[in-house]
Amino acid sequence: MSLSLFDLRGRRALITGSSQGIGLALAQGLAAAGAEIVVNGRDGEKLAAAAGGLRDAGVTARELAFDVTDHAAVRAAVDGFEADVGPIDILINNAGMQQRGPLEEFPAEGFERLLQTNVASVFHVGQAVARHMIGRGRGKIVNVCSVQTALARPGIAPYTATKGAVANLTKGMATDWARHGLQCNGLAPGYFETPLNKALVEDPAFTDWLSRRAPAGRWGRVEELVGAAIFLSSDASSFVNGTVLYVDGGITASL
């Protein structure tokens, strides 16, 4: 009985930004729990490769290409998919970007790009999918936050602002949609070896700092996010709403 709470068979999961990195790892993890996967991205070639790799592993995987920052395109893609293929039971809003630089010199266009990619996309896709979930009286939305949802570091203030906003938008989603049977939560990774963190992974000084700063003493591995994602996507979290689950090796727990 207890293990069946984590069973995702018969569920379909849309994961934005899932052609690589954390998004692809979450796609593979949810598929292993039984979910059908819908991968999303803007690069058609990378998206096809990701979907093909999943299908080669025996996963039922579909591609849904759209720009998460384009409200009309998101709505058209989601509505079309629901009409032509079927319901999206799980949404993981993973698409995001990073841009580093001193706050006093940070370009306005860079700040706007971060807002659109990291925050507006969560609104656009979340709203489009939730409209259908509400009609069915159930659904799971998982918004990927960050350790920077709670903490700041030099050189990434705009990114930190966006991830704080995602956490509060998650709370707002839960507040508005829990009554309709939706559970909306955040998943906040710490420092993981991903393409987004390539510059930091290749910086020996940063890795040395991380090994001393994080109680776990190391970088996270993307597969270590899977258990938390399955929990938040499954019936096991049926009364969990508006929370942010940190998977960060203990960084937010210690000074």
Q: Are 39 and 27 in contact (CB under 8 A)?
A: yes
pLDDT at 255: 87
Q: Are 96 and 143 in contact (CB under 8 A)?
A: no
Q: Which of 87, 82, 74 is nearest to 16 (CA)?
A: 74
Q: Are 145 and 95 in contact (CB under 8 A)?
A: no
Reply yes or no on whether the pLDDT at 1 is more than 60.
no
Token reading at 187 = 């998943």
Active site residue 159: yes
Q: How many CA atoms lie within 13 A of 221 on its CB side?
A: 4
Residue 78 CB contacts under 8 Å (≥ 6 apart), including other chains: 14, 88, 125, 128, 129, 132
Mean of pLDDT over the chain: 96
Q: pTM for the whole thing? A: 0.96
pLDDT exceeding 70 applies to what percent of the chain? 100
| Mean pLDDT, residues 136-148 taken together | 98
Reply yes or no on whether the pLDDT at 19 is more than 60.
yes
Q: Which of 186, 188, 68 is nearest to 128 (CA)?
A: 68
Reply yes or no on whether the pLDDT at 162 is more than 90.
yes
> In 85-120, which ranges are continuous DSSP H helix?
108-114
CA distance 65 to 44: 7
Q: What is the pLDDT of residues 178-208, one digit of tens each?
A: 999 999 999 999 999 988 788 889 999 999 9
Using pLDDT thresholds of 50, 70 and 90, give the confidence band for residue 85.
very high
CA distance 178 to 58: 34
Domains of the chain: 3-247 (3.40.50.720)
Among the listed residues 159, 192, 219, 246, the single catalytic one is 159
Alpha carbon of 160 to those of 60, 81, 118, 193, 221: distances in Å?
35, 33, 10, 19, 22
Q: What is the pLDDT of residues 87-141, one digit of tens each?
A: 999 999 999 999 999 999 999 999 999 999 999 999 999 999 999 999 999 999 9
Q: What is the pLDDT of residues 209-241, one digit of tens each?
A: 999 999 999 999 999 999 999 999 999 999 999
Q: Which residues pair with 144 in a beta bridge?
A: 187
Residue 200 CB contacts under 8 Å (≥ 6 apart), including other chains: 191, 206, 207
